[in-house]
Each structure stands twice: as structure tokens, then as C-alpha cells.
Structure 1
């Protein structure tokens, strides 16, 4: 299903996006060496409830996971990159943490992810990898103009990732979003320009460049959800929900200043 939102729904999407962006920044500010991933999950639950939102994750079941996810946020550490299921783990100095959050508010969902390094030990290669996903996301967003094709976004993202030397996995990527969290069209993190669905005002997309340092191959953790690099290398993931408008793309999940 590809959903085109009306003006009322787009206004609601902006509220949903602001909530997701704000929660992620709050969680980042609270996270420190020694923070337990289960505490981050409980903070997320409380922040969603306080805003009157609904988690898109806690009851979520998918073909690539085992049973309901059962948590309120994805917490991926170091070699984990996607669908990181919170566990009883205390973060250490230098851990590379990705927080991925989707919340529905007023019937419209928004989805975003941030990667950052915990503590003071910041390996240059980790910083470079995070920065690369952020640059790839910015280029993908810039390409998301009315009349462009999904392939134009994929090409813009993939060009940045490839130029930085990262292998690109095409199993998981961006997606449409709206009244449900995951919708068509799929947005691969590399592709051919001029191909795929033509972008129209009212379309919401969650764009999410992610990379693993030296591989494109994933393995599934014993928890049935967490996806890790097959080599054990570090990973990074950055995501925003955007709206296609007559005036170009609008980022909905930026934290409000």
C-alpha cells in the first residue's frame, strides 16, 4: 500500500515527527556510561505514554522477527545495526549506540534513528561512519522532490555510502509510512536513478542509510530480532521521516529547538 496523506493528516504527521525527534534527543541526553539498555526502553515507554502516543514496536510482529518485539525502542550496540532488542546490558565507554524509534500519534506514525558514541572514547573510524550515514541521509532527502523517482533517492544515498568505501546491504532500507509504520514503496540504500515510484506531495518516507564497516552481510541474533554484522564489525544507522510537499522535502523528525 502507498498512502498519500491529506492536509489534516500531514499536520498530524508533523506532530508525530516532532514527538519522535524530541524523544530521541531526550534519550541521547540521558544516556551515559553505565546506562542499561532496559532503562532506555522504560524511559521510552514513559515518554510515549506522557505524550499520548502509541508504540509502533511493542506488539509488532514481522516475517524477519520472532514473535512480538515486546519493547518500545530498538537499541543496537556496536556490531548490531537493525532491530536491536533491548537487553540487560550496561553501556561502556566507546560503545557505538543506535536508537531507532517509531511512534504513532493521532493515527499517524513517524520513524527515526540516531547513532552516537557513548562516553569519551571516540574512535575516528566510528565518527566517520556515523557522519557518512548522516551525509547520505541529507543527500537522499535533497533528492526527494515532487516528480523525482524512488531510484533517484536510492542513487543519492548509495553514491555517498559507496564513495566512503562501505559495502551496501539492500535487504533492508527506507520505506513509506503513514497510518502504519511500514508501507510501500521500499527505498533501497543504493539504486538506479529514474526508476520506481514517482514522488507526489502528501507521501511520507522514512529514509534510513545504514552501513557496516567491512561487510554487507547480516546475521540474526539469538533473540530472534537483532541484526548484526557477520564479521563483528561496527555499524551506524541514521533515519528521518520526511514529507514530500509542493515546495520540496520537509524533515518531520528533527528535534525541536
Structure 2
């Protein structure tokens, strides 16, 4: 039986990724959609990318760019440094890449260049790292950076009257365009949750793996989900992101 599984923000936590794939009993029949921010935080960032490159050879994978992939690509390919990036997980990535040979770095750059801005499936379900702002939809987005940086889509969903239907006048037009929208980027731990959160037709699957939370993989159709152990338990000698 084929499933569509969506994976939240990994942030260099390879041990958590391996754990959730095992707990979800992932097979080569499953479609895997990674919502971005594979990198920065825990010190396995290069090994996460190696793992994803290999996984793509045997599984049906969709990889979406997050804001941390955008910053990592600029650093690896252009040498562009960013103090804020280093303070928010990038420093551990910089430290580890000092031990990675040039051929692997080149392969990682090629992987990062090919990441998708978003994924829209045949059931009109949208998968994007952060959000978008154009009321006509992702295909009309003027500011491509919104796909991996926007937080207003999630804020709009959180602030909505729960009784509104998709045909109501006050239902946000950009949300109504899609059957469902799956995002990461903004950890649900910020609003006191540790599991995926649904508001309106938006599902947030970032359960705080960059910090003290867990990594989550969820079945898009059934909404069943599986989680890793909290990342500090898997990386007891590290601090993760601040």
C-alpha cells in the first residue's frame, strides 16, 4: 500500500530522521515529502544531506527548500557568511563542513540547487516550507523568498475563527485555493504544542526538532504520525539551536 508521508524540519538531526523512518515503517512504495530545513542545528548536517541523496536513489522523494538550505547554499557556493545564520544553527554546520572533502561539498551544492520551492500534488494539496503571500497562489508569487521565509500564512490560520468554512467571505483567499497546506518553518512548540497542529486547512508539522522537541513524520491522508525521541536525548552532548 502506498502512502504519502510528510516530514517536518530536521535541522541536522540524522538520528531522529532514521528513527522516524523506522517507526513509520517506511517502504519504497511510500512517497516522502521533506518540508525543508534539513540542515543547521545538530551537528549531523552533512550526514543528513548524504542520507537524503542516497534515499532519493531508492525512494520516491520530494525535497523542498527551507530558509536554512538557502543560507547554507549561499555559504557553500559563494562564501557568503551571515552572523545571524551562524547564531541560529549555522555555526555547527560551519564547524562540521571543515572536515568534509571537496567532492562531497560539490555533491551537496548540487543537491541544494535542485530543491523545490514547493510541491503541489494531484489532489490540490500544497507542500511548502513556510508560506506565500500572493492571493492567486504559489504560481503567482512575486517574492520567491516567501516560500521559505513567510510566517504570515501560519499567523493567518492561527487567528481565524474556527467556525469559518472555505466558502465564507472572511476565509483567507490564499488558503481557500488549496485543499490542504502543509508547512514547517515555525515550530508549534512556540504555541505550547509538541505534535502537528491543524488550523483552518493548514497543517504545521514542525514540532521543534531544532530545539527541545521531536521530529515528526505524518501520513497526509490519515493524519497518523510518528515521532522521534526529543532531540536533546539523541544528542546529549550538544546544545542544538538557541
Please report the TM-score for the alignment, with normalisation by the length of structure 2. Answer: 0.29
Specify which structure has the higher proportion of helix: 2
